[in-house]
Amino acid sequence: MKYLRRFPMASSLLLALLVIICASLTVVYLREAPAAFSGQSLQIPLEAFSIVKGSGKRQPGALTVDGYTGGKAIISNLQGLKSSAAYRYVRFRLTPDKLIDTLPLFFWRSADTGKLHSMALEENLLDHIDLKQAEGWGGAISEYGFIFTESDGRSWHLQAFAFTPDTLTQALLNTLSDWLEFEVWSQHSINFIYGGASDKQLSPVVLAGSWVLLTLLIYSLIMWRKRQSLSTRKVAAVLLSGWVLLDTRWLLNLYQQMWLTHDTYAGKSLSEQYQAGLDAEYYRFFERIKKEVLPEAPQFIYVLDSRTAYFRAKTPWFLAPHNVFNVDSYPRPEYAKKGGFILILHPVPGLKYDPSTRSLRWGKKGNLPVSPVYLDPLGTLYQIRPPVN
């Protein structure tokens, strides 16, 4: 009590911190329900992995995959894992770690070798996986590894891999890792910021907010008991410290993002930047259509697609100033009147090109005379022909 009255702010800070730490430990313990307080991790040497599909090379401290067969590359540990139940998490270091759509970690169980189990890694959760969430994880695992899908000649480097046990220490380490997880700019960034991993057990914002408010509450009570007024500077310092603490984490994220932007885009022309990003293939496809097929004057273009809303929505941007309509799956009668081009990005079920009548046909009566003018794995461009009569 003597210290409380002598150093009211320092005591409040420490007391609040103690309360928050105890509360956090309780939450982690109750939520994660770890089996033990400590345990040994199982480091898997990179030599245990081999490239079973595609090609690559071994370098000091890394296994690199840079060649694909049939659009896929697989690295695998054929030695498997005998007692998988002893491990709850898998931690790994794989680069580049953020320019991916999906990256499945796969495994086969010895008990049912005919069934491939895979886990598509989620954005913002790329350095550890909770295997408790993985369907089928348990018993003896006969093989595990990563399946890479070819994308723009990208190479991958596996630098570390370890299974870690179900312990409180590990759960806390994972929580810390969740907080520091790099959150790359994506479509959600304009609407909300996760602040680390998307599915973390404990929010650093809640902890920092509770710490600051609890500190101020304790400090106010002490000063009230001492019949003294609050120190403006000390209150301001506490309010700012919680904020700065979270901002430091955010600045670290911005710093990492800046270097990712630098490495990916800096010093390039706009065209080169598009070719360095996730839209690269479609950007090149749209550029070819613009330069090689379409007239220079703006044309009417109708985009049909049944699979990806993203590229259908982005077609007008890439084909500008061409006049693009991207609302439909099937052609409408007005198309023939307006004329122009039809671009089919992904095959639309029930819609097909009939070479005998040189028309697109759908349903029982749907018919639109067209001529194919550009064929590409990413899409087909047809020019609408005026009706014969």
Binding site for another protein (CB under 8 A): 185-196, 203-206, 208-209, 212-213, 216, 230, 232, 235-236, 239-240, 242-244, 246-247, 250-251, 254-255, 257-258, 261-262, 264-266, 270, 273-274, 277, 279, 297-298, 300, 313-314, 316-317, 320-321, 323, 325, 327, 332, 334, 337-338
Strand locations in the chain (E): 42-43, 49-53, 55-59, 62-67, 72-77, 87-95, 104-109, 116-120, 128-130, 141-149, 156-165, 300-304, 323-325, 341-344, 351-354, 359-362, 366-376, 379-384
Residue 308 neighbours by CB distance under 10 Å: 12
Could you tell me the CA-to-CA distances from 54 to 65, 92, 150, 295 in Å, in that order?
A: 8, 21, 10, 41
CB nearer another protein, residue 66 or residue 123: 123
User: Do 87 and 164 meet the contact criterion of CB atoms below 8 Å apart?
Assistant: yes
Q: How far is the CB of 62 from another protein (least distance, A)?
A: 27
Q: Name the residue type at position 90.
A: V
Distance (Å, rounded) from C-alpha 182 to C-alpha 256?
A: 7
CB nearer another protein, residue 15 or residue 213: 213
Q: How far is the CB of 70 from another protein (least distance, A)?
A: 31
CB nearer another protein, residue 266 or residue 293: 266
Q: How far is the CB of 225 from another protein (least distance, A)?
A: 17
Q: How far is the CB of 199 from another protein (least distance, A)?
A: 11
Q: How far is the CB of 271 from another protein (least distance, A)?
A: 9
113 alpha carbon, distance to own chain's centre:
29
Could you tell me the CA-to-CA distances from 376 to 23, 291, 346, 380, 381 in Å, in that order?
A: 58, 15, 11, 6, 9
CB nearer another protein, residue 4 or residue 278: 278
CB nearer another protein, residue 151 or residue 264: 264
Q: How far is the CB of 201 from another protein (least distance, A)?
A: 12
Q: How far is the CB of 95 from another protein (least distance, A)?
A: 20
User: Do 354 and 372 meet the contact criterion of CB atoms below 8 Å apart?
Assistant: no
CB nearer another protein, residue 21 or residue 258: 258
Q: How far is the CB of 324 from another protein (least distance, A)?
A: 8
User: What would you measure as the largest C-alpha separation in the chain, in angstroms?
Assistant: 101
Residue with tokens 């907010």: 209
Q: How far is the CB of 231 from another protein (least distance, A)?
A: 9
CB nearer another protein, residue 125 or residue 134: 125
CB nearer another protein, residue 111 or residue 258: 258
Structure tokens at 153: 């000649």
CB nearer another protein, residue 83 or residue 248: 248
User: Do 86 and 133 meet the contact criterion of CB atoms below 8 Å apart?
Assistant: no
Q: How far is the CB of 311 from another protein (least distance, A)?
A: 12
> Which string of DSSP letters, residue by residue, matches 75-119?
EEETT-BS-GGGEEEEEEEEES-SS-S--EEEEEESTTTT-EEEE
Q: In what order do the strands lie in the sheet with 351-354?
A: 323-325, 300-304, 341-344, 379-384, 366-376, 359-362, 351-354
User: Do 162 and 128 meet the contact criterion of CB atoms below 8 Å apart?
Assistant: no
CB nearer another protein, residue 89 or residue 285: 285
Beta bridge partners of 366: 362
SS3 content of the chain, % helix, strand, coil (to 5): 40, 30, 35
